[in-house]
Amino acid sequence: MIMPAYARNMARYNRWQNANLIAAANGLSDGERRQDRGAFFGSIFETLNHLLWADALWLHRFSGAPLPVAATPADSRHITADWETYRELRAERDMAILAWAETVTPADLTAEISYFSTTARRKIAQPMGFLVVHMFNHQTHHRGQVHAMLTAAGAPPGDTDLPFLPLGPVAEW
């Protein structure tokens, strides 16, 4: 299905796009980041918190990293209380995703992973490669929501197209 290079490239894309969104959101006030904008998780801040939580959950499933504190997607929107804490944890999580992606082997990607989904309320078992694609797709989906909210708030992010992914290190935010 996929090769380890896919995970590495998408981990780099994830970090690049998180930096992109954070740079745009830095120009907003805390109130503007927290304003309910009608998205599934409400606000820019809550949607970004959900992504931070989901990434921790997938890293737990893929590598045994610690479970996130929130137990359900509904709880995930409040895992950080302030913007600075969010930014610090996002940077750490992105580095953890990059480090994990460097260790992925072809055999890992074909191995089956089983877990209990609190969303589906049942056990799920799928090849890791399929779930890795889902994790990165999930990130892109919710970052798209954040991009739309930022644009509507007058703080449009920069490029998002994968072919524009910088070849060198991704800038810090």
Distance CA 85, CA 82 (A): 6
Kindly tell me the burial class for residue 58, based on how many C-beta atoms sit within 10 Å of its own C-beta (0-12, 13-18, 19 or more).
buried
The Cβ of residue 27 has, within 10 Å, a number of other Cβ atoms equal to 12
> How far apart, in Å, are the Cα atoms of 165 and each of 1, 125, 136, 157, 162?
22, 32, 15, 14, 5
Which two tokens mark 14? 């994830």
Q: Would you call 69 helix, strand, or coil by DSSP?
A: coil
The predicted-structure confidence for 75-115, as pLDDT tens digits, reads as follows 898 999 999 999 999 999 999 999 999 999 999 999 999 99
Distance of alpha carbon 100 from alpha carbon 35, whole angstroms: 34
pLDDT tens digits along 27-44: 999 999 999 999 999 999
The two structure tokens encoding residue 84: 């600075």
Q: Is the pTM of this model over 0.75?
A: yes
Q: Kindly report, residue by residue over 113-155, the tens digit of the pLDDT.
A: 999 988 888 999 999 999 999 999 999 999 999 999 999 999 9
